[in-house]
Chain A
Amino acid sequence: MVTYIIRRLIWSVVMLSIVSIITFAIFFLVPRLAGATSEDLAARYVGRTASAEQVKVAAEKLGFNDPLVVQYGRFAKGIVVGADYDYGPGVERCPAPCFGYSFLTRLPVWPDLLDRLPVTISLALGAAVIWVIAGVATGVLSALKRGSFFDRAAMSIALAGVSMPIFFTGMVSLVLFSYGLKITVAGGTYTPFLTNPATWAYDLLLPWITLAFLYAAGYARLTRAGMLETMNEDYIRTARAKGLRERTVVVKHGLRGALTPILTIFGLDLGLLLGGAVLTESTYSLPGIGKYAIDAIGRQDLPQVMGVTLVAAFFVVVANLVVDLLYAVVDPRVRLV
């Protein structure tokens, strides 16, 4: 078990390094392959108003003329101990973990991201609670009442849910809940949890529902398939033969067996969402990481885009690690590995 954990941890670190290399390559190697010079790259940092001479100096000082390996080394070092960006006219300090420094906003990327993280986390976790409960419950009921009206209706809605784009469901729920029923706000505001939990939840309700609907649909289908399979297992027959109540058989024996694949998907979904629920955040103008990414792309602010990419990748890798470890807790057979 301990070697299993250590192996997973080492693997995660390796994954993170690979991700950072790939990200780095996308932002520094690919433009070069496309023909960009060091000056072209530096121009992005000092702004369009700078003279050709200033750009040249900046390119040299920022190290764009060094071999790529050295540049990557500096970049990686920045994440660990922080970095100083000397672009000629001045030096900007970017404290650790330095995920980049935006010369457009004249701010390091990381503190910006930290500001927005609570929004994304609130959105993702809240939606996750809703979709897991709704999706799994629907899936279990559908499986138990297979072929019934409930099953067919639920599965049709679920099919629609997984195939509809989020801005469409978003718009529909906006019209329905906010303008029609007037039970939620139209989005765009965010109140920190610690300021007022009730407003926090109220503000987020609509985005939660929109996001959860999309995921709940997939989880319902997955749960239904898993339950149909496990309820046919021999150990379910054994559980019934012991004289257990049907509810205990379903929940303790059936659902427990069906939950493992759902756990895997859940970890990945959550990891991806924490890297920014791009569509939902922009549909409701929530100031989260996804919104930040969209804005950064719009401004062509490369350091910001790169920072978001890295943070998102980090969440995915960590989510993977957590899933693997949870897996070993849930399924004792995995511990052998």
Chain B
Amino acid sequence: MSEPLLSVEGLEKHFPVTKGLLQRQVAAVKAVDGISFDVVKGETLGLVGESGCGKTTTGRLITRLIEPTGGKILFEGNDITHMSQGRMRPLRRDVQMIFQDPYSSLNPRHTVGAIVGAPFRIQGIKTEHGTKKAVQDILELVGLNPEHYNRYPHEFSGGQRQRIGIARTLALKPKLIIADEPVSALDVSIQAQVVNLLEDLQGELDLTYLVIAHDLSVVRHISDRVAVMYLGKIVELADRKSLYESPMHPYTNALLSAVPIPDPKGRAQRERIRLQGDVPSPLNPPPACRFHTRCWKAQEICKTVEPPLETLATGHQVACHFPENAPTTPEPAVTTA
């Protein structure tokens, strides 16, 4: 495979928690706690996990909307982790974000033309036939009518607004798009339109995506590789096929098994794994394997030794002492100390 476009190494974001009279820092919300992955040019990496496990924070770290507390972010081989805002500016064109809520992410007082054209103005870019023409081309690209140029966001439906949001991110021909729950606020029939649009654009414009979503079926549909997060850590990372067909981490298994299946005939026989309770607070994550409080395979070792993220099959990384579906001949790298 080619060089990664984006490379994240040991990325960390600890939000301080302050308390008492002097607002001393007493603890930290470990929203993202040392995650590493690569995104290769032209691929789609999906990021899934339950609410609060750090998906959005990861996206915001990569776009440098918030400052990481540790780790490194490399974009096209350049370390951008602590790059100043001034030097980031050209990079801002290359990395764009699509937000979940198509209602609140568009300024209601600006026309579609102004919203989609804003990146041109902010970055001071001249286009061949003027900004208006460029914006109308983009509107057409995302399936909106170029005549919508002078209309306001409230005149559009949810799906159309999400298209406007996408048009805005495309204005500067980015290389990497981070989409945070791009379809979860949309109706089922509209979700499919937007998913197809994202796929078409990827082909036409040679885009790379990092798609954050909690809907495992949507993620399977659009991702080439998928990372599963639990309480600020990546617990499994694999290509789509192996992750969905032979998931190794117990958490991934539980997640998949919880998805309701639109097949009323099969519901009686289906074997289910049911997790107890909710995700623990990231303020006090369980020690060692963070999943051990809900894991049905947990043993003593899970409470004392943190399982490292290891490659157990080609391109399939898992952090678990007792993985499911593991290859029968385990990799010889097991320590014997």
At the interface, yes or no: B20 with Cβ under 8 Å from chain A? yes
Minimum CB–CB distance for A321 against chain B, Å: 15
At the interface, yes or no: A33 with Cβ under 8 Å from chain B? no
**Which residues from A are CB-within-8-Å of B20?**
3
Q: Which bucket holds chain B's interface residue count?
A: under 10
Chain B residue at minimal CB-CB distance from A10: B21
Chain B residue at minimal CB-CB distance from A337: B19
Q: How far is A7 from B24 in the complex, measured between Cα atoms in Å? A: 13
Q: How far is A6 from B22 in the complex, measured between Cα atoms in Å? A: 11
Q: How far is A10 from B20 in the complex, measured between Cα atoms in Å? A: 12
**Which residues from A are CB-within-8-Å of B19?**
3
Minimum CB–CB distance for B24 against chain A, Å: 11
Q: How far is A10 from B23 in the complex, measured between Cα atoms in Å? A: 14
**Which residues from B are CB-within-8-Å of A6?**
21
Q: How far is A10 from B21 in the complex, measured between Cα atoms in Å? A: 9
Q: How far is A205 from B293 in the complex, measured between Cα atoms in Å? A: 67
Q: Mark A118-153, 1 if CB is under 8 A from B, else 0.
A: 000000000000000000000000000000000000
Chain B residue at minimal CB-CB distance from A6: B21
Q: How far is A249 from B287 in the complex, measured between Cα atoms in Å? A: 46
Minimum CB–CB distance for B180 against chain A, Å: 26
Chain A residue at minimal CB-CB distance from B21: A7
Minimum CB–CB distance for B219 against chain A, Å: 30
Q: How far is A10 from B22 in the complex, measured between Cα atoms in Å? A: 11
Minimum CB–CB distance for A8 against chain B, Å: 11
Q: Mark B1-31, 1 if CB is under 8 A from A, else 0.
A: 0000000000000000001110000000000
Minimum CB–CB distance for A337 against chain B, Å: 10
Minimum CB–CB distance for B76 against chain A, Å: 44
Q: How far is A7 from B22 in the complex, measured between Cα atoms in Å? A: 9
Q: How far is A3 from B20 in the complex, measured between Cα atoms in Å? A: 6
Q: How far is A301 from B260 in the complex, measured between Cα atoms in Å? A: 80
Q: How far is A3 from B19 in the complex, measured between Cα atoms in Å? A: 9
Minimum CB–CB distance for B20 against chain A, Å: 6
Minimum CB–CB distance for A30 against chain B, Å: 34
Minimum CB–CB distance for B70 against chain A, Å: 28
Q: How far is A10 from B19 in the complex, measured between Cα atoms in Å? A: 15
Minimum CB–CB distance for B30 against chain A, Å: 20
Minimum CB–CB distance for B283 against chain A, Å: 13
**Which residues from A are CB-within-8-Å of B21?**
3, 6-7, 10
Q: Mark B43-79, 1 if CB is under 8 A from A, else 0.
A: 0000000000000000000000000000000000000
Minimum CB–CB distance for B32 against chain A, Å: 24
Q: Mark A151-166, 1 if CB is under 8 A from B, else 0.
A: 0000000000000000
Q: How far is A7 from B21 in the complex, measured between Cα atoms in Å? A: 6
CB proximity to B under 8 Å, residues A1-42 = 3, 6-7, 10
Minimum CB–CB distance for A3 against chain B, Å: 6
Q: How far is A63 from B39 in the complex, measured between Cα atoms in Å? A: 75
Minimum CB–CB distance for A1 against chain B, Å: 13
Q: How far is A7 from B20 in the complex, measured between Cα atoms in Å? A: 8
Minimum CB–CB distance for A189 against chain B, Å: 49
Chain A residue at minimal CB-CB distance from B20: A3
**Which residues from B are CB-within-8-Å of A10?**
21
Minimum CB–CB distance for A143 against chain B, Å: 27
Chain A residue at minimal CB-CB distance from B23: A7
Minimum CB–CB distance for A244 against chain B, Å: 30
Q: How far is A319 from B189 in the complex, measured between Cα atoms in Å? A: 55
Minimum CB–CB distance for B191 against chain A, Å: 25
Q: How far is A294 from B313 in the complex, measured between Cα atoms in Å? A: 87
Q: How far is A3 from B26 in the complex, measured between Cα atoms in Å? A: 14
Q: How far is A7 from B19 in the complex, measured between Cα atoms in Å? A: 11
**Which residues from B are CB-within-8-Å of A7?**
21
Minimum CB–CB distance for B19 against chain A, Å: 8
Chain B residue at minimal CB-CB distance from A7: B21
Q: How far is A7 from B23 in the complex, measured between Cα atoms in Å? A: 10
Q: Mark A188-220, 1 if CB is under 8 A from B, else 0.
A: 000000000000000000000000000000000
Q: How far is A3 from B21 in the complex, measured between Cα atoms in Å? A: 7
Q: How far is A15 from B20 in the complex, measured between Cα atoms in Å? A: 19
Minimum CB–CB distance for A31 against chain B, Å: 38
Minimum CB–CB distance for B18 against chain A, Å: 11
Minimum CB–CB distance for A217 against chain B, Å: 33
**Which residues from B are CB-within-8-Å of A3?**
19-21
Minimum CB–CB distance for A15 against chain B, Å: 15
Minimum CB–CB distance for B29 against chain A, Å: 14
Minimum CB–CB distance for A313 against chain B, Å: 23
Minimum CB–CB distance for B16 against chain A, Å: 16
Minimum CB–CB distance for A105 against chain B, Å: 43
Minimum CB–CB distance for A319 against chain B, Å: 22
Minimum CB–CB distance for A162 against chain B, Å: 30
Q: How far is A80 from B181 in the complex, measured between Cα atoms in Å? A: 61
Minimum CB–CB distance for B216 against chain A, Å: 28
Minimum CB–CB distance for B208 against chain A, Å: 41
Q: How far is A3 from B23 in the complex, measured between Cα atoms in Å? A: 11
Q: How far is A6 from B21 in the complex, measured between Cα atoms in Å? A: 8
Q: How far is A6 from B20 in the complex, measured between Cα atoms in Å? A: 9
Minimum CB–CB distance for B281 against chain A, Å: 13
Minimum CB–CB distance for A324 against chain B, Å: 15
CB proximity to A under 8 Å, residues B196-239 = none
Minimum CB–CB distance for A201 against chain B, Å: 45
- Chain A positions within 8 Å of B, measured between CB atoms, are 3, 6-7, 10
> Mind listing 6 A-B residue pairs with CB under 8 Å?
A3-B19, A3-B20, A3-B21, A6-B21, A7-B21, A10-B21
- Which 6 A-B pairs rank lowest in CB-CB distance, beginning with the nearest? A7-B21, A3-B20, A6-B21, A3-B21, A10-B21, A3-B19
- Chain B positions within 8 Å of A, measured between CB atoms, are 19-21
